A and B are shown apart, each in its own frame.
Chain A
Amino acid sequence: MRAALAIALLLIKEIFRKKDFYVALFLMGVILAYASQMKFYEVRSVTRYLLDLGLTLVFFLTVILAVSLGARQVPSEAAGRTLQVLLAKPVTRGQFLLGKFLGTFLAAAAAFGVFAAVFFGAAFAKGASFEGVLLAQAGFCFLLNLAVVSAMAVGLSPYLTVSANVSLTLVTYLAINLYGPGLKDAGAALAPPLQAVTWTLYYFLPHFEFFDLRQRLVHRWGALSPKLLLFLAAYAALYAAAFLVAGWLGLRRRKV
């Protein structure tokens, strides 16, 4: 665990010393500044729509950051030959991958904290208000979502190039968010072989939409029960572990 933590901390240091994070922060600032100039005329639905849009932006920018960071972990270490030096130390390949996952997740979580602070700072300044418990739950669920997506990008990084990994992870993430909930119903209308494929996908793929409490937060639909939160945490842990094990299998016997 010591080695994994050291690797994770190095990755966090990297993100705060490289420009990706600051570019995303700048982009976020520009969009929020633009949005804050809009006149809502106290139309509640428009205000809610803009809050939803802002939250989507915060979530999606963080996911992009996590994916781009996670996807390059194994390829960039291999290309720079730093992987050779690292694995020549008393570090197992499992510890290496775990460290990369922790680092990606923690760095993205820190970025999320900054983006969220900017967004909610602007929202509160414009007079918006949120339910405290629900706000905390939305943050917690997004962190679970971030853990799964970080594990997915890191887990795929021994197999794919950076661009292929970023594309595949983001397309999968978006597709599941958009079409995941309707997959079961869509499958019901199909012929048996296709139905089986669709339903397998439905039960096999991680349902990122489970972690999305944006609508609930913006429309004040009430907090989740502790039991449900616990289920979501276990669900996220299961998928994160599955992606990391898949990554480890790809790295285990790889010639470095």
Chain B
Amino acid sequence: MKQRAVTDGLLMGFFWLAGLFILVVLLAIIAYLIWRGGPFVDSAFIMGSPAGLPLGSEGGIFPAIKGTLWLVLLALVLSILPGLLTAAYLSEYGRGGRLADIINLLVQSMAGVPSIVTGLFVYALAVVSLGWGISLLAGGLALAIMIFPVIVVSTREALLAVDENYRLAADSLGVSRFYTLYRIILPRAAAGIMAGVLLALGYAAGATAPIMVTAAAIIASSSGALLEPVMALPYHLYILFNEHISMNQAYATALVLVILLLLINILALSLHSLQERINSR
């Protein structure tokens, strides 16, 4: 019996360690970025444009912030409907069937496609074939494809987490599956779905490789014109440290990017906890 207690104690210790490890890692990352980048983030940095020699070693990142916001918005618009429909199919209509398994497999495999390959595919398809050129639209499409599997997986999880009894009750009452989905399941899963979508958007906001070949420019005004190149925060960061333009600006850019994403995630979190409360009622 003593041995059981010891094992139990060790396990408990391990579980606690695992939990706190996560906390430590995040705090370390943020603290380091604040320490190295904080001094260089001021209103001129956020609102200004790149300057200095070489370009980017001074000045600001406003066009990059705008560009990232546009790209993410576009990615959302392009991927949310297909994502929701596919997830709904997997959880409601086709559950357990062969087709659903195949689609599930395909979607999960899409998550493994390296983002640069997605970018290349969209380059050949949209930038060249369709003649869009290096543009916001092509970048948005590449990002949409990239986050599509993420949205499907998280939406499906959110839908499945809704108590099965609702579906059983609805079915026994003769209600159509669409009605069940639309009026009963979806509202109850809405917060979880939105949380998943927000996280997917965060993923899109940070992606570098796909936008490098479809949308990004070192210098652009990022005015929101669909067929023009844009600057973007992750790409700007990549250029800054890869070309060794300025480590300070790089840290500052990284800090701004991470803060932006943290805000998105905090929002996702509050939605998620709202969802939890709904589900446990």
Chain A complexes with chain B: no
